[in-house]
């Protein structure tokens, strides 16, 4: 299977105000095949978000390299989109204009970008909200718009940094189902950061479990439970328990 993202011997070091060295990531090696739904799971502070930002080109690695489709990748590009936990919508723009924002920056004509924005608005089930403003939407609806904005740029890879972390439990489950539906339609490569064991088991083809101090890969687990996954499935419960036990020692 084609390899989309390759991370080789990645290390990230930060320095405090008094020049104390803080190793956030060490010797990270990761291969992500095309169209895989990969979840990165780990305790707070283990470097999950830092890793994602380096893959996105938003953060520089201290050493090591990231490759996208065989070429070294060091800066943001349209082919790699990112969705953050905070919705990051422009409050002065309506929903359609928010979705079309990246296309506008890319120089796409207004008629074309509006047509693309409407297509993704339909896809997220919000056809009647194109003229609404972010403050008029629920948290779950705002996150749908943020996902649609990322997808409208037609990225090959979608990076998601705990995008449902601020949502209530019910809305989070709805958004997980919605994301899987979109992924199955569009078949993007997704790298999804979460600290929720249940979310990782529900979504992922494969889970990377990270440990902290410094951040590194502790274990890789392939999820073979067929979709749509039922939380009542005994294997689902076994995997959840196994991951929780591993996290306790992370």
Convert the pLDDT of each residue in 22-50 to its tens digit.
Answer: 899 999 999 999 999 999 999 888 999 99
> pLDDT confidence of 131, banded at 50, 70, 90?
very high
What is the pLDDT, as a whole number, of residue 185? 87
Domain coordinates in residue numbering, the chain: 3-79+156-248, 89-154
What is the CATH number that goes with domain 3-79+156-248? 3.40.50.300
Long-range contacts of 165-173 (CB under 8 A, 24+ apart): 165/85, 165/194, 165/195, 165/196, 166/85, 166/86, 166/139, 167/139, 167/140, 167/143, 168/139, 171/138, 171/139, 171/140, 172/199
Whether the CB-CB separation of 3 and 33 falls below 8 Å is answered with yes
Of 207, 163, 197, 190, the closest CA to residue 36 belongs to 190
What is the pLDDT, as a whole number, of residue 28? 94
What is the pLDDT, as a whole number, of residue 223? 96
pLDDT digits (tens, 9 = 90+) for 163-182: 888 888 888 888 899 889 88
Sequential DSSP letters for 14-66: EE-TT--EEEEEEEEEEEEETT-EEEEE--TTSSHHHHHHHHHTSS--SEEEE
Joined tokens for residue 201: 């088991």
Distance CA 113, CA 121 (A): 12
pLDDT digits (tens, 9 = 90+) for 186-217: 889 999 999 899 999 999 999 999 998 899 99
What is the pLDDT, as a whole number, of residue 250? 60
Distance CA 146, CA 143 (A): 5
């Amino acid at each position: 299977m084609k390899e989309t993202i390759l991370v080789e011997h990645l290390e990230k070091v930060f320095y405090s105000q008094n020049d104390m060295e803080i190793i956030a990531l060490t010797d990270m090696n990761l291969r992500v095949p095309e169209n895989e739904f990969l979840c990165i799971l780990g305790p707070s502070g283990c470097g999950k978000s830092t890793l994602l930002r380096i893959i996105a080109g938003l953060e520089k690695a201290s050493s090591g390299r990231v490759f996208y489709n065989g070429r070294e990748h060091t800066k943001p590009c349209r082919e790699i989109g990112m969705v953050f936990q905070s919705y990051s919508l422009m409050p002065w723009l309506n929903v359609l204009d928010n979705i079309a924002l990246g296309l506008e920056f890319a120089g796409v004509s207004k008629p074309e970008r509006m047509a693309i924005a409407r297509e993704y608005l339909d896809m997220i089930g919000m056809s009647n909200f194109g003229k609404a403003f972010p403050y008029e939407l629920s948290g779950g609806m705002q996150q749908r718009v943020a996902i649609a904005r990322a997808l409208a740029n037609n990225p090959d890879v979608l990076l998601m940094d705990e995008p449902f972390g601020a949502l209530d439990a019910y809305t989070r489950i709805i958004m997980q189902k919605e994301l899987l539906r979109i992924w199955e339609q569009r078949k993007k490569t997704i790298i999804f950061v979460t600290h929720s064991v249940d979310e990782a088991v529900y979504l992922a083809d494969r889970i990377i479990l990270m440990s902290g101090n410094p951040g590194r890969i502790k274990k890789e687990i392939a999820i073979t439970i067929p979709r749509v996954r039922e939380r009542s499935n005994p294997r689902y419960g076994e995997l959840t328990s196994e991951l929780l036990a591993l996290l306790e020692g992370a």
